[in-house]
Each structure stands twice: as structure tokens, then as C-alpha cells.
């Protein structure tokens, strides 16, 4: 797990590097305040697939640095231009305390832009990402955003859950959020044999904690 320690915690997301036998996987790419690619070490010639769980700013900032990109088909058109209305990059401009250390002396959050990163591979529910020795099934987990996906290794119960579920504050009040869809996602997550969930924010959670969080969400949002 990598992260951007000097970014305000509201926008500080987890970046996951999963080493496979044949290819490596990168799940989400942070804000892109500093170059991410030099921090990701892969053996020469080994392909790296960078997957964005959704198009929000704190998950796609450095996506353009990687040549082989995948993301949810439902949000795919946004990756071609990274418009503010999909990424919410505008929220970060002039955000008080955007960063606690400047990447360079003349850096200003007001100049923050996300470079376009068109997707080579469009992911749908049920697609499989095969790393050679392990594989991940794409789960469509809408609610936080319409296209949000998770990547689930059913054989060992590992879920990369993006912002659909994690141990931090779950955001369901963005313009593209949908609480009805989010409730359905929570019901689905409760039924999955998840052993550990590595989310887009906060510390990883075990399956028991994940189901508690989902049940708590449903109690608060289901009538
Ligand atoms: Zn998000």
C-alpha cells in the first residue's frame, strides 16, 4: 500500500500494488501531486495494469503515467478528458490545507489539474483480471459513484473495495452518489465471503468488520 502523506486526509487515498506471477496490478493512483510511476517497482518487461476503481480525483491523479489502464466502463468516457464534474478536482483547488508540504516551492492547489488517461480496457461486472497465479473478479459496486468497482479474489477472500466500503467515512452525498444503489451494494457485500477488504481509504478491514459497516449503513439508510 502506498499513499500521499502530505495530502489533506480528505483526499488522501490508498494505492495498492499487487504483485502477480505474470503481471502486476495497481489499484488506484492517488491525486498525482507527485509522480507515482517512479515509486512502483516492477521487474523489467513485466506488464503493469493500472486499474481505477472509479473516476474521482483521489483515485485517478496519476493514472496517465501508466501505459496500460483499466477502469469501469460506466465511467469510461470521463477518463478521456477528466472533467471536473466527474473527478471533482475543483474541490481540491484552494482547499484549505490542501497539502502539508509543497511538492515544489511554486506549487498552488489552485493549479491542480488531472491529465486525461483514456482507458485501454473497460471493465464490467464479472470480468476477470488474471495475474497468472491469482485472479480478481470485477464487482460492480455502485452507490458512492455510478461506476464504482471492486476487485475480488474469491479463492482467498481478498477484496479491493475502492470507495464502496472501507474503514473510514463513507461518502454518499456527492452529486453522482446514489443511496438506493449504495444500499443494494451493501446487501451484496454482506453476502460475499470476504476475509479482508483493502479500501480506497483508511486501514484494511476484516470480513466481520466489513459486514458490520455494511449493516450499519443499511440501518441508517434503509427504511
Ligand atoms: Zn470516490
How does pLDDT run along the chain (223 residues), one tens digit per residue? 999 999 999 899 999 999 999 999 999 999 999 999 999 999 999 999 999 999 999 999 999 999 999 999 999 999 999 999 999 999 999 888 999 999 999 999 999 999 999 999 999 999 999 999 999 999 999 999 999 999 999 999 999 999 999 999 999 999 999 999 999 999 999 999 999 999 999 999 999 999 999 999 999 998 6
Nine-digit cell at 90? 475543483
What's the pLDDT score for residue 215? 98
Ligand 1 centroid–CA 81 distance in Å is 17
- The helix/strand/coil state of 223 is coil
Nine-digit cell at 91? 474541490
What's the pLDDT score for residue 94? 80
Ligand 1 centroid–CA 67 distance in Å is 22
Ligand 1 centroid–CA 43 distance in Å is 30
Ligand 1 centroid–CA 44 distance in Å is 32
What's the pLDDT score for residue 223? 64
What's the pLDDT score for residue 222? 83
Question: Where along the chain do its domains lie?
Answer: 9-221
Ligand 1 centroid–CA 72 distance in Å is 13
Ligand 1 centroid–CA 109 distance in Å is 19
| Contact status, residue 93 vs residue 112, Cβ threshold 8 Å | yes
What's the pLDDT score for residue 23? 98
Please, which residues have CB within 8 angstroms of residue 12's CB and are 6 or more apart in sequence?
3, 4, 5, 31, 58, 201
The edge-to-edge listing of strands for the beta sheet with 24-27 is 16-18, 24-27, 48-51, 69-72, 121-123
Ligand 1 centroid–CA 193 distance in Å is 24
Nine-digit cell at 154? 474469491
CATH classification for the domain delimited by 9-221, as one of 3.60.15.10, 3.40.630.10, 3.40.30.10, 3.40.50.300? 3.60.15.10
Ligand 1 centroid–CA 163 distance in Å is 5
Ranges of beta strands (E only) in 124-209 are 128-130, 135-140, 149-153, 158-162, 196-199, 205-206
Ligand 1 centroid–CA 87 distance in Å is 8
Amino acid at each position: 500500500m502506498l499513499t500521499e502523506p502530505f495530502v489533506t486526509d480528505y483526499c488522501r487515498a490508498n494505492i495498492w500494488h499487487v504483485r502477480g506471477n505474470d503481471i502486476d496490478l495497481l489499484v488506484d493512483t492517488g491525486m498525482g501531486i507527485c509522480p507515482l510511476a517512479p515509486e512502483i517497482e516492477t521487474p523489467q518487461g513485466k506488464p503493469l495494469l493500472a486499474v481505477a476503481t472509479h473516476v474521482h480525483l483521489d483515485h485517478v491523479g496519476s493514472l496517465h503515467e501508466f501505459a496500460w489502464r483499466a477502469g469501469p466502463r460506466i465511467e469510461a468516457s470521463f477518463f478521456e478528458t477528466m472533467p471536473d464534474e466527474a473527478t471533482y478536482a475543483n474541490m481540491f483547488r484552494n482547499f484549505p490545507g490542501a497539502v502539508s508540504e509543497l511538492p515544489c516551492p511554486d506549487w498552488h492547489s489552485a493549479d491542480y489539474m488531472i491529465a486525461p488517461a483514456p482507458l485501454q480496457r473497460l471493465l464490467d461486472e464479472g470480468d476477470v483480471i488474471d495475474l497468472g497465479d491469482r485472479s480478481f473478479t470485477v464487482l460492480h459496486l455502485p452507490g458512492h459513484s455510478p461506476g464504482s468497482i471492486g476487485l475480488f479474489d474469491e479463492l482467498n477472500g481478498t477484496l479491493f473495495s475502492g470507495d464502496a466500503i472501507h474503514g473510514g467515512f463513507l461518502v454518499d452525498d456527492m452529486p453522482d452518489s446514489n443511496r438506493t444503489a449504495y444500499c443494494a451494494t451493501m446487501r451484496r457485500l454482506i453476502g460475499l465471503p470476504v476475509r479482508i477488504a483493502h479500501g480506497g481509504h483508511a486501514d484494511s478491514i476484516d470480513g466481520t468488520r466489513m459486514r458490520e459497516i455494511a449493516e450499519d449503513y443499511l440501518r441508517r439508510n434503509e427504511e
